[in-house]
Homo-oligomer: A and B are copies of this chain.
Amino acid sequence: MTSRRRPTQADVARLAGVSQSTVSMVLNQRDGGSILISEDTVEKVRNAMQVLGYAPDPIAQMLAQGRNRLLGIFNYDPTNSYLRDGFYYKILAGIENGADQHGYNILLLTRNRADQKRSIFEGGVNTLRLADGAILMGKYPNHDELRRLTREGYPFVYIGRRDVPEIEFDWVISDYHSAGKQATQHLIDLKHRVIGYVCESSAFDANSTQERWRGCQEVVQATPDAQLILIDQSVVADPAQLRDLLQTQHVTALICNDAINFREANNSLIQISLRVPDDISILSLGDTLGDFATSLRVTYVRLNQEQVGEAAVNRLVSRLDGSSSDRVQQSLIPCEFVVGDTTTWRGSG
């Protein structure tokens, strides 16, 4: 660990017998070489760099250049909350991909995990400032902070639609509304008329749930005799309760808000001996949790979270590179509806 000081441009310059700025020029030689330096000099400098094992200090470069090709990621929710159905992971993978394509690295802000409330500003300091721009996410952002970021002109994109009074900003999100519509139309087409919507009460107020629900509602309301029944996850978790509900209401199909709900519902159905899809159709409005041990392929909506992450990066980078207008941009990423074996015609059993 004898790490004597790393070599600097000054060291290289000394060894090569040129000035420090020349070393810098050689280092940053643009493609095409608009800056002309004699071959000899380049050679000498290159050699000296080799000999000393010189590598530029990125921090100094940043300070001098005023930017650093770093994309910040800040999550208002504790990471754990995203463990659910691998949501966070997929978005992160998309962001990584996008960042890589644009030659950016990622700064993952970890601060304040311990506290209940995570915060971008600590002691008045914008911890995101280290990055050129940031991607924010989380169910409950601090509105004041978002306003301050906007006021300061700090470039960011939110993952998920969030409406904050007084300001407007970029966001990207899966098109949950259309997902809900497609799924419901699918069931309606299969002659189902009484459809249960399974969701946890704690998740019902989330924007992403509301959008799904709204999509389902629209289709149901446009269909004579059709009705949508909200079923709490706690009911589904209890096989007996679930059976009673399904029977008394004549429910023939279940739409599950996400993959977890799907799994729970499916488990309960097994226990009350209802066969999928003959006795009851069931689908998930979210990505599946790996494959189940059954041979059934699940009917579900692919949320394309990777694409959401990539889209957020693309938007952010286009702002950072100035190749984009200043207009606020809010985009929906299409979901894909995948028809599997867990849904079929009503009464086919």
- Chain A residues with CB under 8 Å of chain B are 1-3, 6, 49-50, 53-60, 62-63, 68, 70, 79-80, 83, 86, 89, 92-93, 96-97, 99-101, 103-114, 121, 124-127, 129-130, 148, 152-154, 263, 266-267, 270-271, 289-295, 326
Contacts and interface: CB of A to CB of B under 8 A. Distances in A.
Contacts of A62: 59
Interface hub of A49, A93, A114, A290 (most chain B Cβ within 10 A): A290
Contacts of A97: 79, 110, 113
Contact of A124 (B1, B55, B127, B267): B55
Given A96-B108, A124-B54, A129-B58, A267 B289 contact: no
A139 to B, nearest CB: 18
B293 A266 contact: yes
Contacts of A99: 110
A152 B3 contact: yes
Given A59-B62, A100-B112, 7 more contacts: A60-B63, A80-B93, A104-B110, A105-B109, A106-B110, A267-B293, A290-B290
A127 B100 CA distance: 13
27 contacts: A1-B326, A3-B152, A3-B154, A6-B152, A49-B124, A53-B148, A55-B126, A57-B63, A58-B130, A63-B63, A70-B107, A80-B93, A83-B93, A86-B86, A89-B89, A96-B113, A97-B110, A99-B110, A100-B110, A100-B114, A101-B114, A103-B111, A105-B107, A105-B109, A105-B127, A107-B107, A266-B293
A142 to B, nearest CB: 16
Contacts of A59: 59, 62-63, 68, 130
The 7 closest A-B pairs by CB, nearest first: A3-B153, A106-B108, A100-B110, A100-B113, A292-B293, A289-B290, A58-B130
Nearest to A112: B100
A104 B112 CA distance: 11
Residue of A97, A266, A293 contacting most chain B CB atoms (<10 Å): A293
A324 to B, nearest CB: 11
B125 A96 contact: no
A55 B126 CA distance: 6
Nearest to A46: B124
Nearest to A57: B129
B106 A111 contact: no
A305 to B, nearest CB: 12
